[in-house]
Chains A and B, each alone.
Chain A
Amino acid sequence: MSVRNALLGLLAQRPRHGYDLHSAFEALAGGREIWELKPAQVYTTLGRLEEGGLITPERVAQDGGPEKRIYAITPVGQQELAQWLQTPVEGQHQRNEFFLKLMLSVATSVVDPYLVLRAQRAGLYRELHGLTRRRSATNPAQALATMLLLERAAMHVEADLRWLEMLEPRLDEIRRQPLPAPELRPRGRPPRSE
Chain B
Amino acid sequence: MAIVETRALSKIYGSGALATRALHGLNLRVEPGTFVAVMGPSGCGKSTLLQLLGGLDRPSSGDVLIEGQALAGLSDDALTTLRRRRIGFIFQSYNLLPVLSALENAALPLALDGVRPAEAQARAAEWLSRVGLGDRLSHLPGELSGGQQQRVAVARALVTEPALILADEPTGNLDSHAAEAITQLLRQVSDTWGRSVLMVTHDPRIAAYADRIIFLKDGTIVEETQLSSSPSAALSATADVMEVL
Chain A residues at the B interface, C-beta cutoff of 8 Å: 118, 121-122, 125-126, 128-129, 131-133, 136-137, 154, 158, 161-162, 165
Contact = CB atoms under 8 A, between A and B. Distances in A.
Contacts of A118: 223
A125 B227 contact: yes
Nearest to A162: B204
Contacts of B207: 125
Contacts of B100: none
Interface of B: 184, 187, 204-205, 207-210, 213, 223, 225, 227-228, 237, 241
A13 to B, nearest CB: 25
A125 B223 contact: no
The 8 closest A-B pairs by CB, nearest first: A128-B208, A129-B227, A161-B204, A122-B225, A137-B241, A129-B208, A132-B208, A158-B205
A129 B223 contact: no
Contacts of B187: 136
23 contacts: A118-B223, A121-B223, A121-B225, A122-B225, A125-B204, A125-B225, A126-B227, A128-B204, A129-B208, A129-B210, A129-B227, A129-B228, A131-B208, A132-B209, A133-B237, A136-B184, A136-B187, A137-B241, A154-B208, A158-B204, A158-B205, A162-B204, A165-B204
B218 to A, nearest CB: 13
Contacts of B209: 129, 132
Contacts of B237: 133
Contacts, number: 37
Contacts of A162: 204
Given A132-B209, A137-B241, A126 B225 contact: yes
- Determine which residue in B184, B209, B210, B227 has the highest number of CB atoms from chain A within 10 A of its CB, and name it: B227
Contacts of B208: 125, 128-129, 131-132, 154
A125 B213 contact: yes
Contacts of B223: 118, 121-122
- Determine which residue in A131, A133, A161, A165 has the highest number of CB atoms from chain B within 10 A of its CB, and name it: A133
Contacts of A132: 205, 208-209
Given A122-B225, A126-B225, A129-B227, 17 more contacts: A118-B223, A125-B204, A125-B208, A125-B225, A125-B227, A128-B204, A128-B205, A128-B208, A129-B208, A129-B228, A132-B208, A132-B209, A133-B237, A136-B184, A136-B187, A158-B204, A161-B204
